[in-house]
Amino acid sequence: MLLLLLATAALLAAWVFWWEPGRLVLRRADLGVPGWPEGEETRIALIADLHVGSPRNGRDNLRRVVRRVNETLPDLVLIAGDLTIDNVMGGRFVPPEEIAEDLAALDARHGVFAVLGNHDRWLSAERVEAALHGAGINVLDNRGQRARVRGQDVWIAGVADFWTGHPSVEDALDGVRPGEPVIVVTHNPDIFPEVPARASLTVAGHTHGGQVIIPFVGPRITPSRFGDRYAAGHVVEDGRHLFVTTGVGTSRLGVRFLVPPEIVALRLTRCESCESPPE
């Protein structure tokens, strides 16, 4: 019995500390969202919480992430913050300039857009933003930018991190034209209740999906004032749509259990049964 318990503990430790943090899965999701152009289909690759330098997640894995993203042939790539690490047990700090050098290989037909996460700001918002700009990535900090996607203008609204960035949804939406589709990109999904129905979709990361899920109990480490409400996946509230990715790296503890690292390939179409967002 003792040997069985020891073997089980060793297997569990290998899963939590080595096997699962080193995985990378592609999650595909088809979303019908309000206010999207009729007949249009848009492919979006969403990545977040890269935390390059966390255990089992060095630059070699970042290059793997970039390759897998490019294989989805995205119209847009959205990066929802936290490229860097801070005090991850067993991790090794990787400068944002090196991270941006690898991210420069991202290939999207209509642009790559990013917001900063709390870890990026704890390091230096200016430094991380400069590195991303140098790699040709559009960094949106409480501001928006128009992208021409398959012949249709789409407003990409970047909202600063809820914890560390003085977020302003109003500033990010300033400049939107009547009837123009809107995608809100932010790091922490806790801002979602403040996003108006004007937005077709909000995307975020930060939660890591709880990073560890206990069977029959649920996520154990969800850094959110709403608990597990926005832990992961597609959430619809009052007709408004949110998608939260569980991210790639790890934070604080380099462990994952039943929450594999992921990149997300979204296919957006118009929801015919949804009411159009108000102007």
Residue 279 lies in a domain: no
Give pTM, 2 decimals: 0.94
Residue 275 lies in a domain: no
Residue 133 lies in a domain: yes
Residue 200 lies in a domain: yes
Residue 276 lies in a domain: no
Contact 227, 177 (CB under 8 A): no
Q: pLDDT for 41-67, tens place per residue?
A: 999 999 999 999 999 999 999 999 999
- What is the structure's pLDDT at 189? 98
pLDDT at 277 over 60: no
pLDDT at 102 over 80: yes
Q: How many domains does the chain have?
A: 1
| Owning domain of residue 197 | 2-270
Percentage of residues in the chain having pLDDT higher than 70: 91
- What is the structure's pLDDT at 279? 53
Q: What is the CATH number of the domain that holds 150?
A: 3.60.21.10
Mean pLDDT of the chain: 91
Q: pLDDT for 122-156, tens place per residue?
A: 999 999 999 999 999 999 999 999 999 988 999 99
Residue 277 lies in a domain: no
Residue 9 lies in a domain: yes
- What is the structure's pLDDT at 5? 66
pLDDT band at 222 (very low <50, low <70, confident <90, very high): confident
Q: Which two tokens stand for residue 6?
A: 């020891």
Q: pLDDT higher for 231 or 88?
A: 231
Residue 193 lies in a domain: yes
pLDDT at 20 over 60: yes
Q: Using the structure block, give the residue that is written with the tokens 């975020």.
A: 204
Q: Which two tokens stand for residue 191?
A: 């801002």
